[in-house]
Structure 1
Amino acid sequence: MRDQSFEFLQNLLAAPSPSGYEQPAQRVFRSYVAPFAAISTDVMGNVFGAIEGGGENRPRVMLVGHSDEIGFQIKYMDDNGFIYFGAIGGVDPHLSTGQKVNIHGSKGIIPGVIGKKPIHLMEPKDRETVVKLDAQYIDIGVASKKEAEALVRVGDPVTFAVSLSTLQGDRVTSRGFDDKAGSFVVAEVLRQVSELSAKLQVDLYGVSSVQEEVGLRGGTTSSYTVNPDIGICVEVDFATDQPDVDKKHNGEVKIGKGPILPRGANINPALFDLLAETAAAENIPVQFTGIPRATGTDANVMQISRGGVATALVKIPLRYMHTPVEVLSLSDLENAVRLIVATLTRIKDKQVFIPN
């Protein structure tokens, strides 16, 4: 991966963006994309990067990845300054205790830890019980509610205090790959399209959407705004090459073996075929999965926006989803960009995506 792209990925992941509090990450996205696309932001906080194509009767193509991540929100502070919180998105209470966190408020970042009773003081039966999220608390090192309120306030968002680290080979780990990986791919597609020698025969709208983790909200409104003929959602998906995941659930999916192309009711068959044929023609590795239902992604709401959209998914294999240590392969990100750019150059007529 080129140095500037990797730096952008690092900055995007470092920026806090729990659902409803995405703007630090969206500012990073806007700054990166502004040199090669026309930028706008809507009242929800969705960011749009537009590149006009050439020719007449151009299809509108929308590419979307969501910028929001899971996290927490302060709900209550007790008399001793301990902070109680609720989950933003699907947080597993198994993994939150004992973690370092950052509270993001008007005073900047306030570090803290999610406390845990020492195992020595626990009854044997309690050692096998998960502490419910509403019983967990953050310790920021103060001695009273007054001290806590001078630093943070109810409603402030909280993230795990984790950023990008490299593992072996091209594998990296971070919080927030779900789905800043998607926003990254959207930005890189816009950059590469802007560098093509000839204009695409489509009008391209790259969207970094918001509030996906709490109900596909930004995907719904941005799809309505763009009103695309064709839509590609970039998401992450469960890798099944770790020891404790059943391949019967999601098929055989490995990190480093290319992006995933799902099939199912949410996917336009002609657009799926175009992506698969493009991958074969360009020697881009891809993997295939089946999703026999509506997907829990922005592709779901994009497909049924207004009069309907020819929709597909390009997914990045990801281990340990919704944990602070999500793992993916940089080559899968790069191959997703290659696949989408090559597919966009092949789109000429929206009519071919209408079933017959």
Structure 2
Amino acid sequence: MLLEKLCNSIGPTGYEGDTRNLIKDELKIMNLEFSIDNMGNILVHKKGKNDKSNLKVMLSAHMDECGLIITSYNSDGTLKFSTLGSMNINSLPCKTVLIGKHKIRGVIGLKPIHLQNKKERTHSISLNDLCIDIGSYSKSETKSIIDLGDFAEFNIEFEKFSDTIIKSKALNDRLGCSILIEMLKEDYNCDLYAAFNVQENIGQRGVFASNYSVKPDIFVSIDTVNANDLVDIDINEGAPVFLGRGPVIPFKAGISMLDRSNVKCIRSIAEQSDIVYQRIAGTRKEGQSTSVQLTGSNMKILSVLIPCRYMNSIVSMCDLNDYENTIKLLKKYIKSF
């Protein structure tokens, strides 16, 4: 399964090479031409069947996942680190990681609870409380194995919990990358561009470059959104998002207003085709939407989001039905042009 391969590939922010190579191999099998810009974004252009159509539609997802970067050595041989992207620090202690291209194994260490004082047991965990232990006994030994600036990824494999529920690292946004590849398997009347972007987790940097290169008429962000169906939702916090009830199609993403005509169009297509989807007013985070607006291009923007539980922690869950329904809906939407 392509999605499983993508999720198991290594691609922390700024170190997306392994994931990029996997996507390149898939595109070559499909005989699709693509380019890679100086930032590392992959850009695919599939010419439309209708030579008279000048409409350019761009689908965008990001390759990078949250990860860690080694920042310094401790005298006892352990390593200090920082995060690559925003993540839940409380999910890090006692997790295994793979460091650098040689995948050196380590454990994120935290002072054992029975050795903590009262203050330590009650305060929130910070990165200063954590270190990575690779089993080294000295700083010099660690320096001979690990370089400063090496990345660390979480040692978590893709796994099915049932016929439809999966758990994995990097669902945000290998789901989107997999959907882009599925979309490229069919022909459309419009000119279709697919952008596999880098460095989304540290300011949506990659999408600036890819969007500016294409200057599309319609930009569609394919990403994930927090599913909050396991917690009590305050009505003032907005509508809940559920696993298994289809992709989320909002009118607003963070501070960005999405194109209402395209939102209504894709929602109408879903209803006419009996494809389940979730209607919400907006999401807290803008994702790629604000970034593409800042390029100054005159385009219409749409977001199609796949619900995931436990986003921005080391492991997430999603429902494959939502993934499949997103593909079905996007194909019908693009073929409507």
Q: Same fold (TM over 0.5)?
A: yes
User: 1:95-110 to 2 correspondence within 5 Å?
Assistant: 95-105=91-101, 108-110=102-104
SS in 2 for 1:317: strand
Whether the 8 Å CA contact 2:57–2:193 is kept in 1: the answer is yes
Name the CA distance, whole Å, in 2 between partners of 1:248 and 1:140. Answer: 46
SS in 2 for 1:169: coil
Match of 2:5 in 1: 11
SS in 1 for 2:195: strand
- State the Cα distance separating 1:42 from its structure 2 match: 0.7
- State the Cα distance separating 1:346 from its structure 2 match: 0.6
Match of 1:76 in 2: 72
SS in 1 for 2:250: strand
Name the CA distance, whole Å, in 1 between partners of 2:294 and 2:327. Answer: 25
- State the Cα distance separating 1:258 from its structure 2 match: 0.5
Give per-residue Cα distances to partners, 1:129-179, cap 9 Å, x unaligned.
223113310000111222212221000111111121111330001111111
Name the CA distance, whole Å, in 2 between partners of 1:179 and 1:247. Answer: 28
User: 1:205-244 to 2 correspondence within 5 Å?
Assistant: 205-243=193-231
Which ranges of structure 1 fall in alignment gaps of 5 or more residues?
Answer: 1-6, 194-198, 348-356
The counterpart of 2:106, out of the listed 104, 112, 126, is 112
- State the Cα distance separating 1:104 from its structure 2 match: 1.8
Is residue 38 of structure 2 the alignment partner of residue 50 of structure 1? Answer: no
* TM-score using structure 1 length: 0.89
- State the Cα distance separating 1:296 from its structure 2 match: 2.5
Name the CA distance, whole Å, in 2 between partners of 1:28 and 1:248. Answer: 43
- State the Cα distance separating 1:304 from its structure 2 match: 4.1
Give per-residue Cα distances to partners, 1:172-211, cap 9 Å, x unaligned.
01111111111111111112x2xxxxx4221111111111
Name the CA distance, whole Å, in 2 between partners of 1:189 and 1:86. Answer: 36
Match of 2:55 in 1: 59
Match of 2:276 in 1: 285
Match of 2:240 in 1: 252
Is residue 115 of structure 2 the alignment partner of residue 121 of structure 1? Answer: yes
Match of 1:271 in 2: 262
Whether the 8 Å CA contact 2:76–2:137 is kept in 1: the answer is yes
Name the CA distance, whole Å, in 2 between partners of 1:59 and 1:226. Answer: 12
Whether the 8 Å CA contact 1:241–1:252 is kept in 2: the answer is yes
- State the Cα distance separating 1:250 from its structure 2 match: 4.0
Match of 2:289 in 1: 299
Match of 2:313 in 1: 323
Give the alignment's Cα RMSD to 1 decimal. 1.6
- State the Cα distance separating 1:246 from its structure 2 match: 4.5
Whether the 8 Å CA contact 2:16–2:63 is kept in 1: the answer is yes
Whether the 8 Å CA contact 1:65–1:234 is kept in 2: the answer is yes
- State the Cα distance separating 1:82 from its structure 2 match: 0.6
Distance 1:99 1:256, change over 3 A: same
User: 1:137-176 to 2 correspondence within 5 Å?
Assistant: 137-176=131-170
Name the CA distance, whole Å, in 1 between partners of 2:246 and 2:199. Answer: 27
Is residue 15 of structure 2 the alignment partner of residue 21 of structure 1? Answer: yes
- State the Cα distance separating 1:305 from its structure 2 match: 2.8
Whether the 8 Å CA contact 2:92–2:314 is kept in 1: the answer is no
Name the CA distance, whole Å, in 1 between partners of 2:259 and 2:152. Answer: 38
Farther off after superposition, 303-312 or 17-26: 303-312
Amino acid paired to 2:274: N
Name the CA distance, whole Å, in 2 between partners of 1:103 and 1:325. Answer: 18
State the identity as a percent: 28
Which ranges of structure 2 fall in alignment gaps of 5 or more residues?
Answer: none
Name the CA distance, whole Å, in 2 between partners of 1:166 and 1:31. Answer: 25
Amino acid paired to 2:247: P
Match of 2:176 in 1: 182
* TM-score using structure 2 length: 0.94
Farther off after superposition, 304-313 or 96-105: 304-313
User: 1:82-93 to 2 correspondence within 5 Å?
Assistant: 82-93=78-89
Whether the 8 Å CA contact 1:266–1:312 is kept in 2: the answer is no
Name the CA distance, whole Å, in 1 between partners of 2:22 and 2:117. Answer: 47
Amino acid paired to 1:91: M
Whether the 8 Å CA contact 2:166–2:320 is kept in 1: the answer is yes
Distance 1:227 1:102, change over 3 A: same
SS in 2 for 1:274: helix
Match of 1:338 in 2: 328
